[in-house]
Structure 1
Amino acid sequence: MSKPKLLPKSSVNRALNALGDRWSLLIIQQAFLGTSRFEEFRSRCNIPRSTLSHRLKSLIGNQILETRPHVAGKGRQSYYLTERGRALLDAVLLAWAWGIRWGMISDGLPTSIIHHDCGKPMIPKLACDECGGEVTLRSCHREPGPGEGYEQLKVQRMHRRRYAADELYASDVVDLLGDRWTGMVIATQYFGIHRFDHMQTYLNIASNILADRLKALEFNGILERSLYELMPPRYEYWLTKKGSDLFPHALSLMLWADEWLADVNGPPVLVRHNPCGHLLGASVVCGQCEQPLTQDNVTPRLQAATGRPSRAAGKGR
Structure 2
Amino acid sequence: MKPPDLAQTRQALTQSPLSQGLQLIGDRWTVAVLLGAFLGLRRFEAWQSELGIPRHTLTQRLKALTALGLLRQRPYQTKPVRMGYHLTTQGLQLYPQVLMMWVWARRWGAAQMTLPPSLLHKPCGHNFSPHMCCAQCNERVGVNDLTFSLQINPEMATAEAPRQRAPRLAARADGAQGGLGLRVDRWTLLIVSAVLLGCHHFDQLSQVLGIGSSVLARRLAGMEESALLLCQADTNDARRKIYRLAPASRDLFGYIICFSSWASRHHFKQANTIRSVHKGCGHAFVPKVVCSCCGEGLVPWDVGFEGGED
Give deviations 1:115-139, integer Å, cap 9, x for gaps.
2223222210111111111121001
Aligned length: 290
Would the aligned equivalents of 1:147 and 1:263 in 2 still touch at CA under 8 Å? no
Q: Which has the higher helix share?
A: 2
- Secondary structure of the 2:64 match is helix
Number of the residue aligned with 1:173: 180
Displacement of 1:180 in angstroms is 2.4
Displacement of 1:190 in angstroms is 2.1
1:78 equivalent to 2:91? Answer no
CA distance in 2, matches of 1:128, 1:285: 10
Q: Give, as a single letter, the amino acid of the residue that structure 2 aligns with 1:173.
A: L
CA distance in 2, matches of 1:53, 1:224: 39
- Secondary structure of the 2:306 match is strand
Number of the residue aligned with 1:308: none
Aligned residue among 289, 295, 304 for 1:299: 304
Aligned residue among 83, 92, 96 for 1:90: 96
Deviates more, 1:23-32 or 1:145-154: 145-154
Q: Give, as a single letter, the amino acid of the residue that structure 2 aligns with 1:22.
A: R
Would the aligned equivalents of 2:153 and 2:273 in 1 still touch at CA under 8 Å? yes
CA distance in 2, matches of 1:141, 1:173: 26
1:282 equivalent to 2:287? Answer yes
Displacement of 1:51 in angstroms is 0.8
Number of the residue aligned with 1:127: 133
TM-score, normalising length: structure 1? 0.83
Would the aligned equivalents of 1:14 and 1:261 in 2 still touch at CA under 8 Å? no
CA distance in 1, matches of 2:112, 2:230: 24
Number of the residue aligned with 2:114: 108
Q: Give, as a single letter, the amino acid of the residue that structure 2 aligns with 1:279.
A: A
Aligned residue among 11, 25, 28 for 2:31: 25
Give deviations 1:257-298, integer Å, cap 9, x for gaps.
11123265x321221111001111221101222221111121
TM-score, normalising length: structure 2? 0.84
Would the aligned equivalents of 1:149 and 1:268 in 2 still touch at CA under 8 Å? no
Q: Give the 3 Å change call, closer, same or farther, for CA 263–89 of structure 1 in structure 2.
A: closer
CA distance in 2, matches of 1:160, 1:128: 35
Q: Give, as a single letter, the amino acid of the residue that structure 1 aligns with 2:53.
A: I
Displacement of 1:159 in angstroms is 6.3
Would the aligned equivalents of 1:99 and 1:172 in 2 still touch at CA under 8 Å? no
CA distance in 2, matches of 1:301, 1:184: 33
Displacement of 1:69 in angstroms is 1.8
Q: CA RMSD in A?
A: 2.6
1:268 equivalent to 2:273? Answer yes
Give deviations 1:69-95, integer Å, cap 9, x for gaps.
224552211111122211000000110
Q: Give, as a single letter, the amino acid of the residue that structure 2 aligns with 1:239.
A: L
Would the aligned equivalents of 1:148 and 1:267 in 2 still touch at CA under 8 Å? no
- Unaligned segments of structure 1, at least 5 residues: 303-317
Deviates more, 1:214-223 or 1:193-202: 214-223
Deviates more, 1:109-118 or 1:29-38: 109-118
1:12 equivalent to 2:33? Answer no
Determine what percentage of the aligned residue pairs are the same residue.
Answer: 29
Q: Give, as a single letter, the amino acid of the residue that structure 1 aligns with 2:140.
A: E
Q: Give the 3 Å change call, closer, same or farther, for CA 191–63 of structure 1 in structure 2.
A: same
Number of the residue aligned with 1:314: none
Number of the residue aligned with 1:311: none
CA distance in 1, matches of 2:288, 2:38: 17
- Secondary structure of the 1:205 match is coil
- Secondary structure of the 1:283 match is strand
- Secondary structure of the 1:254 match is helix
